[in-house]
């Protein structure tokens, strides 16, 4: 694998110890030459301690270019991490001093790996992602699922078995931190295998993963963390999993998100594996927050059924199988990288080769070399990635590169530019890339990820439409490609199997083909709405169709996107979208490409929109800025036929973008109207101070609340410590069970009063006065105490035999008439049932906790059969007792009591109908149904 470098001798010296020392002057010369190109005529010069961003105005892309030049001139290979860690030339110099000149780039050997062996993908019967993983572990546990490039030279792999084991350990650690099923856990991790382990660990403890992205630049830390705090507040995440570099900053979020209790790193999540709680197809598998290009981020609820339906449909549409190899650098917080690349590969048993986005941005060729080396077949990326490859790599030669294995390159997540794909195909055709592999696709988070894709191998299809007809009549009338004013629209293909598309007008009427209107869809991948936001969810639905927010038209059943509804600009009686104009203006010298926002503003209701262009530039001189603005006006006139009403030139980083690089036009419009465009960003330390101050009141309230909860818990245990010895003394001293129970009953009611927990007891008229079997649900260690306070007459508890191991517990339980049973030994369990059957014929009645155990997770579990067999054998009525509130007052795994309402409901007795096995099951089901009706918890039966 050979890279061609410019043959310039490196400026360096070598000491007696053979240590390479690079001259600082050479590095500063490279920095200054780049500054001169970026800002002609500027007198700014660099020093070793000049901050790249603050002092020199070099953004991330400019620093990428600087590192590329340093690599060429010094003939070294700089780690991609230097983009984030080197904040000034001195930092960069210290980094490169450790590198050896002339070192060959990683992967110089052009040898290719063997294609993966065939393996069976998950069956369509899998209902959850956990079942998919179990399927693979059972059949090929050691098959490599993912290979991650830690750096250019180092990879680490993860098999299916390793993923399952690591996930179970993460799940146990999260449970230890108080995470319970149904809660959200936020993931702010970079690309890597830790993300995979933690994602499945969250699922394995029954919680819901919420991917988030870390701050992109220190200069925007305040805006970023405020947006992330909004996500945390909406999803009420209890735990945030992040990494060491972000952890100190992420601590700020605990003040802005009141439910966030803990910020941890993956290394802290390693405990003895646990068994995952049961999950269903409709349980949430993920909350995917939209990027917010048209407004605030919204939490799209995606169930296991949604994700698996999309993965299966996408796999059928492109023929994905276990011999495919997916190569991706897409961030895992984005749906295309998370679902399209990773979970799709997981399901179909196709190996995934992953690298970090930073690796791609710093060295785009690594993406291509990974396709070559691993015989990659499928990839996906936004349009800018293909454009970046052409701009950065077109003048280089890559000897030995072979891209002939590449069969699908999906282009999506942002508007697709046909010219970009044509240039990409031409640039890399000498390396075996076939133009027909390029596939513009369409999807959205509300449909999990993908919604439309062209047939594989067809290539890019362009539909030329008459511009006048599009802008004036809303119809895409066909035109020849060479016609003046013809507008190109890229075909995104038909909808995925099992999904449907339609285009409607403003009144909801379905439009004919080639009529532009609002795009709607339906199918099994469709979300059921936005998390904890019913108002926004209502705006998403139209009958049983979901509104995409895009304008489009259909032709021959295939999809052509024309633009976002909120981006539509109405000017001079014509409708147009900003994308082509932004692209054209970005090509003007002096304007930062990709940093242009075009939008419309209305000064008053009923007035025509004014056209505004905001463009980032580093130009400082008044004359140069005036000339640049005039050039922008000329390009706008050429594009639209009308000049913009206002051209605003702003400094770098003023154009707001989402995590996936889309222009946040809604927020740009608001900033323009408030006069906040181009406002100088505060220093990062000041932003952090402001964030701490913003969350201070919440922190104080949270601390006071925590203190009060701690004091309450201490008070409860103090009361228990005073009452428990009195109860034990009465149990040992008093001669009869009735007397003992009467004292315990009064002490338990007094304890309830002291702890200020309300108690409601209903249905006491159903309590038996003759032999009967009582069955109760089991939610907490506090259940026995609650029943002692609720029941005036004694009952005999059926307790687990483990209590007999403690002399104290055994003696107390026996004095209260308890009966012990063995749960794990089947033979002993049968004998215990026979003993209980004999005891049941006498008073007081036997009370069974029919679930046999309890957990912190809410829900009524299956009932064991022993109680109902005893009732059937003796023709005794079954009286259901329903306990409510104890799970919240004293959750399993926590010894800190909480205040809350308690209730006990006594249901009418149920008489056995016969003596057969069927009659036993009928009796059990009737009793369980009565408990389920009153307990206020979901059904967790595994039937």
- Cα 524 to Cα 537: distance, rounded to the nearest angstrom: 17
pLDDT band at 178 (very low <50, low <70, confident <90, very high): confident
- List, for residues 111-128, the tens digit of each pLDDT value: 677 778 888 776 788 999
pLDDT of 379 over the 60 cut: yes
Joined together, the tokens standing for residue 645 give 């009403």
> Torsion angle of alpha carbons 370, 372, 377, 381, nearest 10°?
50
Which is more confidently placed, 692 or 579? 579
**Strand runs labelled E in 610-701:** 610-617, 646-650
Rounded to whole angstroms, what are the CA distances from 521 to 107, 293, 495, 501? 44, 20, 9, 5
More confident residue, 642 or 461: 461
pLDDT at 635: 82
Q: Does pLDDT of 931 surpass 60?
A: yes
Q: Which of 46-60, 322-336, 675-689, 739-753 has the lowest mean pLDDT?
A: 675-689
Give the gyration radius of the chain's Cα atoms: 33
Q: Using 50, 70 and 90 to split pLDDT, how confident is the model at 221?
A: low
How far, in Å, CA of 612 to CA of 594, rounded?
Answer: 16
pLDDT of 418 higher than 90: no
Q: How far apart are CA 652 and CA 39, in angstroms?
A: 12
Look at residue 826 in the predicted model and tell me its pLDDT: 40
Q: Quote the CA–CA distance of 566 and 91 in Å, as a whole number.
A: 43
Span between the terminal Cα atoms of the chain, in Å: 57
For 884-908, write each residue's pLDDT tens digit: 999 889 887 678 898 889 999 999 9
Q: What is the mean pLDDT of the chain?
A: 83
Q: In degrees, to the nearest 5, what angle opens at C-alpha 787 toward C-alphas 785 and 790?
A: 115
pLDDT at 260 over 90: no
Q: Do residues 279 and 123 make contact, with C-beta atoms less than 8 angstroms apart? A: no
3-state helix, strand, coil in the chain (%, to 5): 40, 20, 40
- If we measure between CA atoms, which residue out of 269, 268, 251 comes closest to residue 260? 251
Give the C-alpha separation, 704 to 708, whole Å. 6
Per-residue model confidence (pLDDT) at position 108:
47
- The count of C-alpha atoms lying within 13 angstroms of the C-alpha of 73, restricted to the half-sphere facing its C-beta, is 18
Residue 844 vs residues 767, 792, 794, 852: alpha-carbon distances, Å: 11, 12, 6, 21
Question: pLDDT value at position 873?
Answer: 86
Strands 500-504 and 517-522: antiparallel
Residue given tokens 């008073």 in the structure block? 843
DSSP β-ladder status, 442-443 and 450-452: antiparallel
For 744-785, what is each residue's pLDDT tens digit?
999 999 998 999 889 999 999 999 989 999 999 998 888 989
Task: Encode pLDDT of 133-151 as tens digits.
Answer: 999 999 999 999 999 998 8
What does the chain come to in residues? 943
**Which range, 454-468, 645-659, 832-846, is most confident?**
454-468
What are the tokens at 584?
Answer: 């054209």
Higher pLDDT among residues 249 and 288, named by residue: 288
The residue-averaged pLDDT of 817-845 equals: 70
Burial bucket for residue 526 (CB in 10 Å: 0-12, 13-18, 19+):
buried
Tokens found for residue 92: 């960069």
pLDDT band at 441 (very low <50, low <70, confident <90, very high): very high
User: What's the average model confidence in pLDDT over 363-384?
Assistant: 93
Most confident of the following: 205-219, 240-254, 474-488, 692-706: 474-488
Can you spell out the DSSP letters for 458-497? ----EEEEEHHHHHHHSB--B--TTSTTEEEEEB--SBPT
CA angle centred on 641, ends 638 and 643, rounded to 5°: 90
Q: Would you state the torsion angle of the CA atoms of residues 528, 530, 534, 539, taken in this order, to the nearest 10 degrees?
A: -80
And the tokens for 879?
């009286």
Cβ-based neighbours of 786, under 8 Å, separated by 6 or more: 748, 759, 883, 885, 886, 902, 904
CA 462 remoteness from chain centre: 34
Percent of the chain with pLDDT over 90: 39
Q: Output the pLDDT for position 608.
A: 59
Instruction: For residue 844, say if its preceding peptide bond is cis, omega within 30 degrees of 0.
Output: yes
Residue 609, φ and ψ in degrees, nearest 5: -65, 140
pLDDT recorded at residue 468: 84
* Residue bearing tokens 């609002």: 518
Q: What is the DSSP string of 158-204?
A: EEHHHHHHHHHHHHHHHHHTT--TT-EEEE---SSHHHHHHHHHHHH
Residue 100 is predicted with a pLDDT of 64
pLDDT score recorded for residue 8: 33
Confidence of residue 657 (pLDDT cuts 50, 70, 90): confident
Match 């909860």 to its residue by tokens: 709
pTM of the predicted protein model? 0.68
Number of neighbours of residue 816 by Cβ within 10 angstroms = 20
Non-local (6+) Cβ contacts of 625 within 8 A are 617, 619, 649
Tell me what the mean pLDDT of segment 319-333 comes to.
93
Report the distance separating Cα 733 and Cα 745, nearest Å.
Answer: 16
What residues contact 154, with CB distance under 8 A and at least 6 apart?
A: none
pLDDT at 504 over 80: yes
DSSP string, 719-765: HHHHHHHHHHHHHHH-SSHHHHHHHHHHHHHHHHHHTT--EEEE-GG
- Which pLDDT does position 362 carry in this prediction? 83
How far apart (Å, rounded) are the C-alpha atoms in residues 310 and 667? 31
Give me the pLDDT at residue 5, please: 29
For the segment 74-119, what is each residue's pLDDT rounded down to a tens digit?
878 777 767 667 778 888 888 887 776 654 454 445 667 777 888 8
């Amino acid at each position: 694998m050979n890279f061609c470098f410019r043959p310039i001798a490196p400026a360096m010296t070598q000491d007696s110890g053979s240590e390479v020392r690079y001259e600082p002057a050479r590095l500063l010369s490279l920095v200054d030459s780049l500054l001169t190109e970026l800002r002609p005529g500027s007198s700014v010069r660099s020093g070793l301690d000049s901050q790249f961003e603050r002092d020199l105005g070099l953004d991330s892309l400019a620093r990428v270019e600087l590192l590329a030049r340093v690599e060429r001139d010094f003939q070294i290979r700089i780690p991609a991490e230097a983009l984030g860690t080197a904040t000034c030339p001195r930092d960069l110099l210290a980094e490169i001093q450790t590198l050896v000149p002339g070192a060959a780039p990683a992967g110089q050997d052009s040898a290719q790996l063997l294609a993966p062996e065939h393996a069976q993908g998950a069956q369509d019967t899998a209902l959850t992602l956990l079942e998919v993983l179990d399927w693979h572990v059972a059949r090929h546990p050691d098959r490599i699922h993912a290979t991650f490039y830690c750096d250019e030279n180092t990879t680490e792999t993860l098999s299916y078995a390793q993923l399952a084991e690591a996930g179970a350990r993460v799940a146990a650690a999260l449970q230890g931190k108080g995470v319970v099923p149904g809660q959200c856990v936020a993931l702010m991790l970079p690309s890597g295998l830790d993300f995979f382990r933690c994602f499945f660990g969250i699922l394995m403890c029954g919680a819901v993963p919420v991917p988030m992205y870390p701050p992109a630049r220190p200069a925007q830390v305040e805006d970023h963390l405020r947006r992330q705090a909004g996500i945390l507040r909406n999803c009420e995440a209890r735990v945030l999993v992040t990494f060491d570099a972000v952890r100190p900053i992420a601590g700020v979020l605990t003040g802005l998100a009141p439910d966030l209790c803990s910020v941890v790193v993956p290394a802290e999540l390693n405990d003895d594996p646990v068994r995952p709680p049961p999950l269903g197809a409709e349980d949430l598998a993920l909350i995917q927050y939209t990027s917010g290009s048209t407004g605030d981020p919204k939490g799209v609820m995606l169930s296991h059924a949604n994700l698996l339906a999309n993965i299966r449909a996408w796999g059928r549409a492109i023929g994905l199988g276990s011999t495919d190899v997916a190569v991706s650098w897409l961030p895992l917080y984005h749906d295309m990288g998370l679902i399209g690349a990773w979970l799709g590969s997981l399901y179909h048993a196709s190996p995934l080769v992953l690298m970090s986005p930073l690796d791609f941005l710093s060295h785009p060729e690594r993406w291509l070399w990974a396709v070559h080396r691993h015989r990659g077949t499928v990839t996906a990326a936004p349009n800018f990635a293909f454009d970046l490859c052409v701009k950065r790599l077109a003048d280089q030669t890559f000897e030995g590169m072979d891209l002939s294995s590449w069969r699908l390159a999906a282009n999506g997540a942002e508007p697709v530019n046909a010219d970009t794909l044509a240039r990409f195909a031409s640039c890399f055709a000498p390396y075996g890339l076939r133009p027909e592999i390029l596939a513009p696709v369409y999807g959205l988070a509300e449909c999990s990820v993908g919604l439309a894709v062209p047939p594989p191998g067809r290539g890019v299809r362009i539909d030329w439409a008459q511009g006048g007809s599009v802008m004036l009549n809303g119809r895409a009338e066909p035109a020849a490609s060479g016609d003046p004013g013809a507008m190109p629209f890229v075909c995104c293909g038909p909808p995925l199997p099992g999904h449907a598309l339609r285009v409607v007008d403003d009144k909801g009427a379905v439009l004919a083909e080639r009529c532009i209107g609002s795009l709607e869809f339906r199918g099994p991948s469709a979300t059921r709405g936005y998390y904890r936001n019913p108002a926004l969810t209502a705006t998403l639905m139209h009958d049983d169709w979901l509104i995409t927010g895009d304008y489009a038209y259909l032709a021959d059943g295939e999809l052509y996107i024309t633009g976002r509804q909120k981006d539509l600009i109405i000017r001079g009686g014509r409708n147009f979208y900003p994308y082509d104009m932004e692209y054209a203006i970005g090509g003007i010298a002096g304007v930062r490409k990709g940093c242009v926002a075009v939008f419309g503003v209305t000064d008053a209701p009923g007035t025509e929109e004014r056209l505004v262009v905001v463009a980032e530039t580093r130009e400082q001189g008044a004359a140069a800025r005036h000339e640049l603005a005039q050039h922008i006006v000329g390009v706008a006139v050429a594009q639209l036929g009308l000049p913009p009403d206002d051209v605003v030139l702003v400094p770098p980083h003023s154009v707001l973008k989402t995590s996936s690089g889309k222009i946040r036009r809604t927020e740009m419009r608001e900033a323009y109207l408030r006069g906040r465009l181009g406002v100088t960003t505060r220093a990062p330390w000041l932003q952090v101070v402001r964030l701490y101050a913003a969350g201070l009141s919440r922190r104080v309230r949270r601390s006071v609340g925590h203190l009060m909860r701690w004091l309450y818990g201490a008070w409860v245990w103090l009361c228990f410590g005073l009452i428990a010895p009195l109860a034990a003394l009465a149990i040992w001293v008093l001669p009869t069970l009735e007397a003992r129970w009467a004292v315990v009953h009064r002490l338990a009611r007094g304890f309830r009063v002291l702890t200020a927990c309300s108690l409601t007891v209903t249905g006491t008229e159903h309590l038996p006065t003759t032999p009967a079997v009582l069955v109760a649900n089991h939610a907490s260690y506090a259940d026995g105490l609650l029943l002692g306070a609720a029941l005036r007459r004694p009952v005999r508890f059926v307790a687990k035999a483990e209590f007999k191991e403690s002399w104290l517990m055994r003696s107390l339980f026996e004095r209260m008439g308890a009966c012990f049973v063995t749960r794990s030994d089947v033979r002993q369990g049968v004998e215990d049932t026979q003993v209980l059957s004999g005891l049941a014929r006498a008073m007081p009645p036997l009370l069974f906790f029919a679930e046999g155990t309890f957990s912190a997770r809410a829900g009524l579990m299956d009932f064991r059969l022993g109680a109902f067999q005893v009732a059937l054998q003796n023709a005794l009525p079954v009286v259901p007792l329903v306990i409510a509130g104890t799970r919240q007052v004293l959750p399993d795994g926590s010894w800190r009591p909480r205040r809350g309402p308690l209730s006990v409901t006594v249901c009418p007795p149920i008489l056995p109908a016969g003596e057969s096995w069927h009659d036993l099951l009928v009796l059990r089901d009737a009793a369980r149904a009565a408990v389920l009706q009153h307990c206020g918890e979901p059904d967790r039966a595994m039937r």
